[in-house]
Chain A
C-alpha cells in the first residue's frame, strides 16, 4: 500500500471517528480555549492572508458560502440558503436566510453582501483587497431584493463557488462601510455565531455566544478564548490544560510529546495539507536561465526517498506535483514519476542531472539558497535540498533571513534559488498555480521567467467549466510547468491537529483556513 493510501486510510478512519463523535448529542455550554501562534496585524478579513486572522476572527462573521468541513471541498451555504446558476454560467443568484442580524442588532440584507463584495472586487482608496484578482470576471453584484444577491460575470469561470466560499470574505455592514470603508480594520462587527468581547494584544482574544445568531440552537459554546503564544508554547500549554487545541498544525515531535503527556485525553487528526514548499529559480540569473540546469537541480532531489524520513522530523511529507497529492485534479503518481525529479530511481536521476549540467557547460556550480529563518518546515527543507545538490557536485550556501528580509529579496529578484511556500484555502488550480506564472500575470511569479505559454494555459483553465476537460487541461499544464522547472515542487505538508478529547464537532480538513467559524463545535464536559 502506498504511503499516500495509508495516510488517506488514516484520514478516513479518523473521519469515521469524527462521525461517531457527531453521533453523540452535542452539549451546550463551556468556553473553548485554543492557541494561535501568530497575531493578526489588523482585523480586516478582506486584506488578510493569514490564519492568524482567520482563527480568532472567523467566529465573529458569516460568509455567503462556506466549505462543508465534513465533505471538503464541497461548498455549502452560510448566509445563502439556496442558489442557481444560469445556463451560460454568467449569472449566479443567491437567496439569503431571512432574519439574519448583525451583532449590533441591525438586519443583514443583500445590500450588506453587495457592499462587502464591492469592497473586495473594487476596493476604495486605502483599502487592501488581497484576493481581488479572484473576482476579476465579476462584472457586477446586484441586489434585486433584500434577500437576493446576483453576481453577473463577464465570462464563465471555473471555481466560482470556491472563490465565494473563501473564509476571508467576511460580510460587513454596508452602513458601517459607508461611514468608513476602513471600519473593519480596527473593529469587529459581524453576524457570526460569536460576538466580540476583547482583544488583549500579545495575549488573548475573546468571543461570547451571540444570542441573535440566525441558525437556531447554535452555537453550542458559550464562548471562546484564543491565546496568542509562540509555537513552542503550544505543547506545554496543552499539557498544562491552558488550552484545548491549536488549529494550524503541529509537527511529529510535538505530537509525540502530546501523546506521551495526554494519552487517551488526546484526539489526533492528520492528513495531507493544502500547502507545500517549492524551489524557485531566478531565471534572470545565469545559469538558472538554462532549463537543463533547473531540471538537473530538480533531478538531484530524492523526493520519494527523503519523504519518509523527513516526515518523522517535520511537517514535510507528501510527494506531489503542483496540485495536492490525492486531489482529484492532481497527476497520479505513475504520471508524476515520468517527470524530471520524480523518478523512483534516484541514482539514474542524479546521473541524468550530472549529464545535463555537463551539457549546459556548468561545472562546480555554487549558489546561495535563500530561505526563511523559520524552523518548521523551512530549515529542514533547506538542509535537505543542500545535501541533495551536494550529491551531484553542486554547492549551495544556506542563507536564512527574517521573513520580511526574505520577502524583500525574493520580490525584488535578489536571489539565486529560494525556498517558497504555496498555501491557500482551496485546491483549485487558479490558486495553486499563481506562483508558477510570469510576473506580468501574477505578482507572486518570483522566478522572473517570461514564458507566456504558461500564463495562457492558466487563463484557459479558468474558462473551462467542464470538470473533466479542466482536469485533463490542468494535468497537461502541470506537466509543462514541472518540465520547464521555473519553480519545482519540493514536498507537500502533512497537517497534524492534536486536540483535547473533549473538543467535539470540529472537522479536520486539508486547509487550516477553513472550518474555523466554531458554529458546531462543542465541549464534551460534565
Chain B
C-alpha cells in the first residue's frame, strides 16, 4: 500500500482563488433595495422617537385655541387639530408610542412564543398536543378581538410612559403564531445528530432547548419579530382608535384618527391624513424590512 502524505501546503489553493466574502451590509443593500429603504424609514422613525423633544417644534399636548384647525403652513408644517395642537409634533411624539408598544409587544410575544414552541416541538407527546390545542383556540380568535378583551379586562398599567397591559394585549395574539413557527423549526432540528449527541452526553432537556434548539431558530424568530412589529403598530393604532389604547392627550397615531377627528375630515383633512400616512409608512417599512430579512437570511432564497 502506498503511503500518501498530505500536508497543509499540498491542499492549499492560491490566495487569489479564494472568493472574497462580501460585506454583509453592502450585500443586503444590493440584493434587498426595498428592505434597505424600509430600514432607512425605520431608522428615521427611531430617530424621531428618541429625539422627539428636539425635533418637534411644539409641545404635542399644549392647547392653543388661537391656532385651532390651522391648515398646513410654515408655522405648522402639517397643520393643527381642533385644540390647536401641532399635528407634526404629535406625529413625531406619536412615534414613541408606536415604536415602544410595537417593539416591546413583538419582542415579548415572539420570545414567549419561541420558548413555548420549542418546548412543544422538543417534548412532543401529550405536552405538544395540549399546547397545540391551546394554540388552536387562541388562533381561532381574531387578533383585534383577543387584544380588545385583554385591554378591557386588565385596564392600564403604565411603566415609564408605556402601558404594559397594552403591550401584553398586543403581544398575546403573537404568541400562538410564533409558537407554531418555533415548533415546526424545532421538530426538524430535534432530528439532527447533534441533538442526539447532546442527549448521549447527558445534557438535560432545558440545556438542549436553550443551547442547541433556540439558537437555531433565531432566523425565523428575527423575521417574525420584525414582521410582527408592523402588525403591533397597526394593532396599537386600532386599539387607540377604538378608545382602548392610549388615552388623550398622549400623542398616538391611532388616537389622532379617532373620536372627533372624523367630524373634521372635510374641513380639516390634514388631521387624519398625516397620522394615517405615518401609520401606513411605518407598517410598510417594517413589512418591507421583514420580507427582505427573510429573503436575506434564507440560504435558498439567497442563492
Residues of A near any B CB (own CB < 8 A): 232, 251, 253-254, 256-257, 305-306, 308-309, 312-314, 373, 375-376, 379-380, 382-384, 386-387, 390, 397-402, 405
Query: Could you say which of B121-129, B167-175, B260-268, B272-280 contacts chain A?
Result: B260-268
Q: Is the CB of A375 within 8 A of B247?
A: no
A residues within 8 A CB of B263?
251, 253-254, 257
Q: Is the CB of A313 within 8 A of B249?
A: no
Could you pull out 16 A-B pairs where Cβ atoms are within 8 angstroms? A232-B262, A253-B263, A253-B264, A257-B263, A313-B83, A313-B260, A375-B259, A376-B260, A380-B83, A383-B63, A384-B83, A387-B61, A387-B249, A398-B247, A401-B155, A405-B155
A-B residue pairs, 6 tightest by C-beta: A253-B263, A309-B65, A387-B63, A313-B82, A375-B259, A383-B249
Closest A residue by C-beta to B258:
A375
Assess whether B77 is interfacial by the CB under 8 Å rule. no
**Complex: A401 Cα to B165 Cα, angstroms:** 14
Assess whether B152 is interfacial by the CB under 8 Å rule. yes
Closest B residue by C-beta to A378:
B248
**Complex: A342 Cα to B248 Cα, angstroms:** 26
Q: Is the CB of A375 within 8 A of B260?
A: yes
Q: Is the CB of B62 within 8 A of A387?
A: yes
Q: How many A-B residue contacts, CB cutoff 8 Å? A: 62
Shortest C-beta distance, A511 to chain B (Å), equals: 25
User: B248 touches which one: A308, A309, A398 (CB < 8 A)?
Assistant: A398
Q: Is the CB of A379 within 8 A of B248?
A: yes
User: B250 touches which one: A253, A387, A390, A398 (CB < 8 A)?
Assistant: A398
User: B156 touches which one: A251, A383, A399 (CB < 8 A)?
Assistant: A399
Closest A residue by C-beta to B243:
A373
**Other contacts beyond A232-B262, A253-B260, A313-B68: 12, CB < 8 A:** A256-B267, A309-B65, A312-B68, A313-B83, A313-B260, A379-B259, A383-B249, A386-B61, A398-B249, A398-B250, A400-B247, A401-B155
B residues within 8 A CB of A306?
65
Closest B residue by C-beta to A384:
B63
B residues within 8 A CB of A375?
243, 259-260
- B44-82, CB < 8 A from A: 61-63, 65, 68, 82
B residues within 8 A CB of A232?
262
B residues within 8 A CB of A397?
158
| Most A CB within 10 A of own CB, among B84, B152, B247, B259 | B247
Shortest C-beta distance, A408 to chain B (Å), equals: 11
Closest B residue by C-beta to A400:
B247
Shortest C-beta distance, B66 to chain A (Å), equals: 9
**Complex: A256 Cα to B65 Cα, angstroms:** 19
| Most A CB within 10 A of own CB, among B65, B68, B155, B243 | B65
Task: Number of B interface residues at 8 Å Cβ cutoff, please give it.
Answer: 24
Shortest C-beta distance, B53 to chain A (Å), equals: 16
Q: A387-B61, A398-B247, A398-B250 are in contact. Are A309 and B68 (CB under 8 A)?
A: yes
A residues within 8 A CB of B61?
386-387, 390
**Complex: A402 Cα to B248 Cα, angstroms:** 14
Q: Is the CB of A386 within 8 A of B249?
A: yes
Shortest C-beta distance, A417 to chain B (Å), equals: 15
Closest B residue by C-beta to A386:
B249
Q: Provide the B230-257 mask, 1 if CB < 8 A to any CB of A, else 0.
A: 0000000000000100011110000000
A residues within 8 A CB of B259?
375, 379
**Complex: A400 Cα to B240 Cα, angstroms:** 12
A residues within 8 A CB of B250?
398
**Complex: A398 Cα to B62 Cα, angstroms:** 14
B residues within 8 A CB of A313?
68, 82-83, 260
**Complex: A283 Cα to B97 Cα, angstroms:** 33
Closest B residue by C-beta to A310:
B65
**Complex: A309 Cα to B155 Cα, angstroms:** 32
Q: Provide the B2-40 mask, 1 if CB < 8 A to any CB of A, else 0.
A: 000000000000000000000000000000000000000
B residues within 8 A CB of A257?
263, 266
**Complex: A90 Cα to B190 Cα, angstroms:** 91
A residues within 8 A CB of B260?
253, 313-314, 375-376, 379-380
Q: Provide the B115-145 mask, 1 if CB < 8 A to any CB of A, else 0.
A: 0000000000000000000000000000000
**Complex: A306 Cα to B83 Cα, angstroms:** 10
Shortest C-beta distance, B266 to chain A (Å), equals: 8
Q: Is the CB of A383 within 8 A of B262?
A: no
**Complex: A423 Cα to B104 Cα, angstroms:** 43
Q: A253-B264, A387-B61, A400-B243 are in contact. Are A382 and B248 (CB under 8 A)?
A: yes
**Complex: A308 Cα to B158 Cα, angstroms:** 34
**Complex: A306 Cα to B249 Cα, angstroms:** 16
A residues within 8 A CB of B65?
305-306, 308-309
Closest B residue by C-beta to A256:
B267
Shortest C-beta distance, A414 to chain B (Å), equals: 12
Shortest C-beta distance, A368 to chain B (Å), equals: 10
Shortest C-beta distance, A486 to chain B (Å), equals: 26
Q: A253-B263, A387-B61 are in contact. Are A400 and B248 (CB under 8 A)?
A: yes
Shortest C-beta distance, A162 to chain B (Å), equals: 35
Q: Is the CB of B247 within 8 A of A399?
A: yes
Shortest C-beta distance, B290 to chain A (Å), equals: 33
Shortest C-beta distance, B118 to chain A (Å), equals: 38
A residues within 8 A CB of B262?
232
B residues within 8 A CB of A308?
65
B residues within 8 A CB of A402?
152
**Complex: A402 Cα to B242 Cα, angstroms:** 12
**Complex: A118 Cα to B9 Cα, angstroms:** 112
Shortest C-beta distance, A396 to chain B (Å), equals: 10
**Complex: A128 Cα to B276 Cα, angstroms:** 48
**Complex: A305 Cα to B63 Cα, angstroms:** 12
A residues within 8 A CB of B264?
253
**Complex: A382 Cα to B249 Cα, angstroms:** 8
Closest B residue by C-beta to A305:
B65
Shortest C-beta distance, B31 to chain A (Å), equals: 47
**Complex: A254 Cα to B152 Cα, angstroms:** 29
Closest A residue by C-beta to B63:
A387
**Complex: A85 Cα to B63 Cα, angstroms:** 54
**Complex: A253 Cα to B152 Cα, angstroms:** 29
Shortest C-beta distance, A398 to chain B (Å), equals: 5
Shortest C-beta distance, B84 to chain A (Å), equals: 8
| Most A CB within 10 A of own CB, among B82, B260, B263, B267 | B263
**Complex: A312 Cα to B68 Cα, angstroms:** 10
